[in-house]
Copies of this chain bind each other. A is one copy, B any other.
Amino acid sequence: MAFKKNLASSKDDNISDWYTEVISKGNLIHYSNIKGFMSFLPNGWKIWQLIKKELTKEFDQRDILELCLPSLISQNDFLLEKKHLEGFAPELFIVTKTSNETEKYILRPTSEIAFCNLWRETLRNYRQLPIKHNQWTSVFRVEKNTRPFLRNSEFFWHEIHSCFETEEQSNDFAVDIWKLYQRFIKDILCIPLVAGEKTEAEKFAGAKTTYTVETIMPDGQALQSATSHNLSQNFSKAFDIRYQTKNNDYQNVFSMSAGVSTRIIGAIIMTHGDDDGLVFPTKVAPYHISLNCIFDDTNQELNAKLKELANKYSQKYRVHLNVNKDSTGEIIKNSQLRGDCCVLLMGPNDLKKNEIVFIDRITKQKQFINLDHLDQKLEELFSTFDQKLYQKAKAVFETKVDFAQTFEEFEQKIASGKFVRVFYCNEDLYEKQIKEKTGASSRCIIKYLDEQTQERCFISNKKAKVEIYFARSY
């Protein structure tokens, strides 16, 4: 027997329509009247705050200091940077004062310039190193095709910018943060991933190496979910960031930068959501438990009991005590759309029987639980919830990841929505051809092959240099 789903659209049939509907009905955001700009509603903002909390724990352990730089960059500084950032040229928002239209500023699209200016003016000697800075801000890029979370003209991110005495330290820290991102995305967000290095063509302009974490959406498209860059001395030389060494000479620092943005919320939604609404891993779920009175909202004894339960479970879980007079069906529907991990319902009869109705967000099955066993039931749910989400996502992931030996095979697999592993000669020229012919871009190098390899490149038939993933991407 098939039940009617909460959403009109189907994730399997049309993920684009589904994505729009699940976000709108889940009350995460509200579109503003400016293209690409949106309000984060309380539940949407809560997810970002929980992500911030989880990552901040990790940053604190690494003595990364939080600060906040200005939103505007002078246009002159930006033109200076641009020379060193060929390739990174998003369309920008220009700012002027009403009183003075000749002085122009840029709404920051990223903050390399601001950090470089700060360091150049404050760094004196080796005793100040390493510097590990981080800020949580929004950045601005004009976008033609916008989608909530996935591509916004204003989006939120954190950006780590650090500098060091040696290249090794800088690279090690970039790798450390990259590994942290992998654990975060896999263990906290329960999203399967592929991690590796970007090719020359795809790396951040100005970086020596870009380490990336790629996730795969259910339609097979890749989502670049977190990146960490070893910038070597590229920026410190361009911006003249020097310090006095122990030996009293002057040297340019080695720097790195890294970031995760609100795009990752798009990945959470697309990975875990279903045709009944949003689903969230426990660490970033706005609400763990929706607790509701049904049938008789004037029953004082019942309300007292629910308040008691809300107080009790708030010690451990994020509990939402619902005082609306919705019907039971509406309550369950709204809770599922919102992505609460479970919904609990209690009416006068349940109270008499010392029972509560329990519906978890994964199985969606209704169970009557004796209140004496509720602690245990919740323990069970929350101790296995994330693992179940990951396994479900991993099963989908496995159907998307594929391998191609030849270009013909590659073309066909990309066209059918796969994330395709190949052996590749790693020459820029072919990347352009591949993109033009298939729409796929290189996502990440997972292995450098040694000279002795027998593998041939899937497109050039030259000796392969790397093992790499290609896919279409968001």
Report which A residues bind B (CB closer than 8 A).
Answer: 30, 32-34, 37-42, 44-46, 48-49, 65-72, 74, 77, 91-99, 105, 107, 114, 117-118, 121-122, 127, 133, 138, 140, 142, 154, 156, 324-325
Contact = CB atoms under 8 A, between A and B. Distances in A.
A68 B39 contact: yes
Contacts of A38: 70
A95 B94 contact: yes
Contact of A67 (B45, B66, B72, B121): B45
A262 to B, nearest CB: 10
B99 A96 contact: no
A75 B67 CA distance: 31
Given A93-B96, A97-B142, A69 B39 contact: yes
A142 B99 contact: yes
What 5 A-B pairs are tightest by C-beta distance, nearest first?
A42-B65, A37-B70, A40-B68, A39-B69, A45-B67
A158 to B, nearest CB: 13
Contacts of A66: 42, 45-46, 49
Contacts of A98: 91-94, 142
Nearest to A135: B45
Given A32-B114, A94-B98, 16 more contacts: A32-B69, A33-B77, A34-B70, A37-B70, A37-B72, A38-B70, A42-B67, A42-B133, A44-B67, A45-B67, A46-B66, A72-B93, A91-B99, A94-B96, A96-B96, A127-B325
B91 A94 contact: no
A368 B434 CA distance: 73
A46 B98 CA distance: 33
29 contacts: A32-B69, A32-B114, A33-B74, A33-B117, A34-B74, A37-B71, A39-B68, A39-B69, A39-B114, A39-B118, A40-B68, A40-B69, A42-B67, A45-B66, A45-B67, A68-B156, A71-B138, A72-B154, A91-B98, A91-B99, A92-B97, A93-B96, A93-B98, A93-B105, A94-B96, A98-B142, A99-B142, A107-B107, A127-B324
Nearest to A127: B324
A123 to B, nearest CB: 12
